[in-house]
Amino acid sequence: MKIRTMGSATNKGILSWFYISRTYHIQLKRYSQFLKTWSLTPSQYEVLVNIRESGRMSQKELAEKMFLTKGNITQLIIKMENEGYISREQEWKTKYIRLTEKGNQLLDRIRPEQVNYFSQQFQGLTKKEQKRLIKLLKKVNETQINQDNE
């Protein structure tokens, strides 16, 4: 698809949005295929990583971190619990989630292949270009977060 480029800042914003969105959708589709090897979705993988990083977290914290609704996170967690990757425990009104040994082992198996996968996704960019891309995307995110907090 060819997009006509124009000089105004507004059109640069539209063009930037288009390419960020298009890249995201292409990469998400490819990443979903990659994770199918382990019968996981990107959301399920993100749940595992978030829980591993924190050791234990409440469903509410996880939903907020992943920008999911209470209903969506509950469905996701039930499925993963049924698969044996996570366990839930109730403390008064709060449900906490932990990784099971099976969940930890799965992450350990995926990680080396994931590092290789992501390296391949950005092989068209030099190391310097990759650093610049990261810096620019962080700047866009920080700007949005600051605007949201105003």
How many Å apart are CA 66 and CA 90, to the nearest integer? 21
Q: Is residue 130 part of a domain?
A: yes
Q: Supply the pLDDT for residue 52.
A: 94
C-beta atoms surrounding 76 within 10 Å: 21
More confidently predicted of 46 and 148: 46
CA distance 20 to 43: 20
0.85 exceeded by the pTM?
no
Contact between residue 47 and residue 76 where contact means Cβ atoms under 8 Å apart? yes
Quickly state the pLDDT bin for 3 (edges 50, 70, 90).
Answer: low
Q: Single out the residue of 43, 94, 105, 108 nearest to residue 72, CA to CA.
A: 43
Domain contains 150: no
Q: Identify the band that residue 91 occupies on the pLDDT scale cut at 50, 70 and 90.
A: confident
Determine, yes or no, domain membership for 3.
no
**Exposed/middle/buried for residue 13 (C-beta within 10 Å: 0-12, 13-18, 19+):** exposed
Tens digits of per-residue pLDDT, 74-90? 999 999 999 999 999 98
Residue ranges of alpha helices (H) inside 41-100 are: 42-54, 59-66, 70-83
What is the number of structural domains in the chain?
A: 1
- Look at residue 49 and tell me if it is in a domain: yes
Q: Specify the CATH number for the domain of residue 78.
A: 1.10.10.10
pLDDT of residue 142: 86
The answer to whether residue 43 sits within a structural domain is yes
Report, as an integer, the average pLDDT of 56-62. 91
Q: If residue 127 lies in a helix (H) or strand (E), which one and from where to where?
A: helix 127-148
Compute the average pLDDT of residues 50-55.
92
Which structural domain range is residue 48 located in? 9-145
Residue-level pLDDT at 6: 53
Residue 106, domain member (yes or no): yes
Residue whose C-alpha is closest to residue 106's, from 39, 32, 55, 29? 39
Residue 33 has which token pair? 């295929």
Name residue, tokens 């082992």.
Answer: 105
